[in-house]
């Protein structure tokens, strides 16, 4: 064996092994983490181009006693694989609904929170019953809770899931397609599904080659004008510069979420800064 090759195999095995160990540990830590409320909700504002805050997306963070702050990229997939995700999502949804209830008592009834729904949640629980039960428990205005579902979840779903999305809308929730344009069936999704919001995938703003940026911008332009025709609102996610906001505003986008305005931040900080 070539020495470099052997070394790279060893490295590869090492990485997989370390990942597996880490994953096992995170899964093992889950019950206690949920019980001790180590998971917390961060909020990232959604803004108009003029900087008015309209609402926020709820994004989970794990305040791990030994490892410090852990980001969803390190645990969501593992929890999806192991069937734990629905318990985490239910917990985060409840935090979001509690926060909305508080805001509404304080007179901020116009603000919304978007929560993420994993494809896997549909396998492990009745998502509709879970969410409507929370809304009834805390008596919030349903239209202030937005439900983010990826197009993969919609297109790989059964007829039952498509029905559920109809039911969500009839109940008064707003349904958003997350990461729009990243999958293989974006336009089929639009044809088959009635939704309220398209959240454009960040990938269009990050091209690997600079010469592709112009193409990417044409696609964005097309998606934005198409959503106007279909009566959908558009959120552009991942905006990091003023130039992006200016360009997209010229194309007709009104709502933005991205580091240009703010990273996801703890709720207390969000309230201090924006309310």
Q: By CB under 6 A, tell whether 264 contacts ligand C2E.
A: yes
Does position 73 interact with ligand C2E (CB under 6 A)? The reply is yes
Cβ of residue 156: shortest distance to Ca ion, in angstroms? 15
Q: Which listed residue (45, 103, 111, 118) binds ligand C2E by CB under 6 A?
A: 118
The nearest distance, CB 112 to ligand C2E, in angstroms, is 15
End-to-end CA separation in angstroms for the chain: 63
- Smallest distance, Å, CB 40 to ligand C2E? 10
Residue 116 is a binding residue for Ca ion (CB under 5 A) = yes
Cβ pair 39, 79 in contact under 8 A: no
Give me the 179-218 binding string for ligand C2E, x by CB under 6 A, dash otherwise: x---------------------------------------
Among 26, 258, 265, 270, binds ligand C2E (CB under 6 A): 258
CA geometry: angle at 146 spanning 142 and 148, to 5°? 145
- Binders in 170-189 for Ca ion, by CB under 5 A: 178-179
Site for Ca ion in 195-254 (CB under 5 A): none
Residue 109 vs 119, nearer CB to ligand C2E: 119
Judged by CB under 6 A, the residue of 29, 56, 75, 89 near ligand C2E is 89
Contact partner at residue 184 from ligand C2E, Ca ion, none, CB < 5 to 8 Å by partner kind: none
Question: Could you tell me the smallest distance in angstroms from the CB atom of residue 218 to Ca ion?
Answer: 21
Taking CB under 6 A as the rule, does residue 178 contact ligand C2E? yes
> Which residues lie near ligand C2E (CB under 6 A)?
44, 59-60, 71-73, 76, 85, 89, 92, 116, 118, 178-179, 237-240, 257-259, 264
């Amino acid at each position: 064996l070539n020495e470099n090759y052997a070394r790279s195999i060893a490295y590869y095995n090492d990485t997989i092994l370390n990942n597996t160990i880490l994953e096992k540990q995170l899964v093992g830590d889950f019950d206690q983490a949920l019980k001790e409320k180590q998971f917390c909700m961060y909020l990232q504002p959604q803004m108009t181009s003029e900087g008015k805050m309209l609402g926020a997306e709820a994004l989970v963070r794990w305040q791990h006693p030994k490892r410090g702050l852990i980001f969803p990229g390190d645990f969501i997939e593992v929890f999806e694989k192991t069937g734990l995700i629905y318990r985490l999502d239910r917990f985060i949804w409840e935090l979001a609904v509690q926060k909305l209830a508080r805001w509404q008592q304080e007179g901020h009834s116009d603000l919304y929170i978007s929560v993420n729904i994993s494809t896997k949640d549909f396998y492990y629980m009745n998502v509709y019953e879970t969410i409507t039960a929370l809304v009834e428990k805390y008596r919030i205005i349903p239209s202030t809770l937005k439900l983010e579902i990826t197009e993969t979840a919609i297109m790989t779903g059964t007829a039952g899931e498509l029905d559920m999305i109809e039911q969500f809308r009839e109940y008064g929730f707003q349904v958003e397609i997350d990461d729009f344009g990243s999958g293989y069936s974006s336009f089929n999704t639009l044809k088959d599904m009635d939704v309220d919001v398209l959240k454009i995938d960040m990938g269009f703003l990050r091209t690997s080659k600079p010469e592709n940026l112009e193409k990417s911008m044409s696609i964005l332009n097309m998606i934005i004008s198409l959503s106007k025709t279909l009566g959908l609102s558009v959120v552009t996610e991942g905006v990091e510069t003023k130039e992006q906001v200016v360009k997209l505003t010229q194309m007709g986008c009104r709502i933005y979420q991205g580091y240009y305005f703010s990273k996801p931040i703890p709720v207390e900080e969000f309230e201090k800064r924006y309310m």
